[in-house]
Structure 1
Amino acid sequence: MTALPPVVDEQTWRDALADLLVREKAATKELDAIAAARRRLPAVKLPEYRLTAEDGSSVTLAEVFDGRSQLVIYHHMWSDGNRWQCSGCTGLTSQWTRTGALAELDARFVVVTNGPMDEILAYKKRVGNEMTWYSSAGSAFGADMDAGPGEGFAFNVFLRDGDDVYRTWHTTSRGAEQFSLFFAISDVLPYGRQEVWQDVPDGWPQDPTYERWLTSKDVAALYGDPEA
Structure 2
Amino acid sequence: MRWTWKGTVSAAAVAALGAGIAISPVFAAAKSAKATHAEASAAPAVIMAGKLYGNIPNVTIRGVAAGKAPWVVDGSYQLKSNLFTASGKWLIIPKQGYMDNGQPVPAKIGGTTNGIAEVGAEITFANASPIVLPPVKLDSQGDFSFHDAIQWPKGAAQPVVLIGPEKNGQLVAWFAASDFLADYGQATGSAWMPTAKPARPEHGAKAAVTRAHRGDAK
Normalised by the length of structure 1, the TM-score is: 0.25
Larger radius of gyration between Structure 1 and Structure 2: 2
Compare the two structures and name the one with the higher helix fraction: 1
Which one scores higher on RCO, CA 8 angstroms, separation ≥ 6? Answer: 1
Compare the two structures and name the one with the higher strand fraction: 2
Normalised by the length of structure 2, the TM-score is: 0.26
